[in-house]
Structure 1
């Protein structure tokens, strides 16, 4: 067995694969709660250890407040694994409102992306997360994705965040392995989740207890196979599956930003339709779709 340990400050003890589930849209572009819930059930049936609605793959920034609430309600009603709902927004007030709603409808935890657009200094970041943690009784997880928010949390900021009661962990999508390794080393009481499929193996090696994997939205069985192999100590198998995941990840990226996951789902034999992405995001064109299908077939994934 390979030791995979969540932080002691994390009451959910998150480990394993947690897909950032998609938000489904119908043919008119409206949120389709039924298909959104069906996708969450699909990844859980594929072995996912939890779900994270309203992350980047959930297109949270393109949804209205009421739409976001309906997504959280649909997913929490649909699955029995831990639901850590995305609640992040530009302002602390909005983030707190989303967090309070998520808790009220049964989310097991909340994930708050670092506020974006305006620059944040260390004190502003600490004050923000303290306000969120004080507003709810469920654990709060930081979503660190500086490439999208424009705000990087410094090591000293992470140290201060770790002292906040109710702050349980960090989902890191910086792809900055030295940053992540240092954060884990300095704050082992927190749970850390790798936020990129490119760093599944590396993340576990440096102390992450699991991963938020976009590939697992379309192929949960594949990414769960990787995690199970790693946890059981079959490192050769884990490396082999990580290599396949690299190929899938690259194929999913051969098109408009984030279009690959929903296209791959449409190529799988599933009984729900997650629809297109919401504008201004675009779906794959026919040539890109055909290329993705060909790659996935070559990998025996369809």
Structure 2
């Protein structure tokens, strides 16, 4: 985090991932991120132990009371097995340091309900590239993107158009990037993104640490086809 803060040098905010399924550990990670100069933290919903909605609220309340730093909740039930419901998000929005949520449930119904229930200044970010454009059009503020690892300019242009209300341009970019969005998950993430960066010559190796493994031949062909279609190779 310290290296990132130093490299960025104030050009954009640095948001550090400090989530854990142990509240005390999440507090310690958040304290460390603040000490390292992070501008905000991203705190994933506790995984594996499947807390209740009350448990989720108390988890975030404890972090907010322990560390004074802006916090973005991160809902990704496909990985955590727990879905923080819109009513609980709205409750958490009442905590002083909770400023927004990365919503990766994949449900526009849920995103809509979060936006409806939370204050106007609460930042709702899509956590899924394929819902990024529609999320912004119903009141979201942007996306925390996987596809932007290999195509940052295109994703940024799509978000800029959507935020400006240019539906035609946003729609065109959405469908141009749509095959690439899918290819980022044709094999367990982040393997496709890292392999894509290797193919582009941006990193020396897309090798992953176990338990993640290298892409198989079929998935690699899918990735290359999508990247060629997007003009990246």
Regarding TM over 0.5, the answer is yes
Shift of 1:121: 1.5
Q: Is the contact between residue 256 and residue 283 of structure 1 (CA under 8 Å) also seen in structure 2?
A: no
CA distance in 1, matches of 2:91, 2:186: 39
CA distance in 2, matches of 1:290, 1:150: 30
Shift of 1:299: 2.6
Instruction: Indicate yes or no: 2:111 matched with 1:180.
Output: yes
CA distance in 2, matches of 1:84, 1:231: 21
Shift of 1:291: 4.1
Q: Which runs of 5+ in 2 are unaligned?
A: none
Deviation track 1:223-267 (CA, whole Å, cap 9, x = no partner) reads 011112223333211111101221101223333443110111011
Alignment partner, residue 211 of structure 1: 143
Shift of 1:288: 3.6
Larger RCO of the pair (alpha carbons < 8 Å, separation 6+): 1
- Which of 204, 212, 215 is equivalent to 1:273? 204
CA distance in 1, matches of 2:205, 2:62: 34
Q: Is the contact between residue 92 and residue 128 of structure 1 (CA under 8 Å) also seen in structure 2?
A: yes
> What SS does structure 1 have at the residue aligned with 2:42?
strand
**Change in CA separation of 1:92 and 1:73 when aligned onto 2, cut-off 3 Å:** same
- Which of 107, 114, 125 is equivalent to 1:193? 125
Farther off after superposition, 230-239 or 113-122: 230-239
Q: Is the contact between residue 257 and residue 282 of structure 1 (CA under 8 Å) also seen in structure 2?
A: no
Alignment partner, residue 220 of structure 1: 152
Alignment partner, residue 74 of structure 1: 3
Deviation track 1:264-296 (CA, whole Å, cap 9, x = no partner) reads 1011142x3353122111121355434422332
Q: TM-score, normalising length from structure 1?
A: 0.72
Q: Is the contact between residue 146 and residue 152 of structure 1 (CA under 8 Å) also seen in structure 2?
A: yes
Alignment partner, residue 35 of structure 1: none
CA distance in 2, matches of 1:147, 1:251: 18
Alignment partner, residue 28 of structure 2: 97
Instruction: Indicate yes or no: 2:75 matched with 1:144.
Output: yes
Shift of 1:74: 2.5
> Paired residues, what number?
230
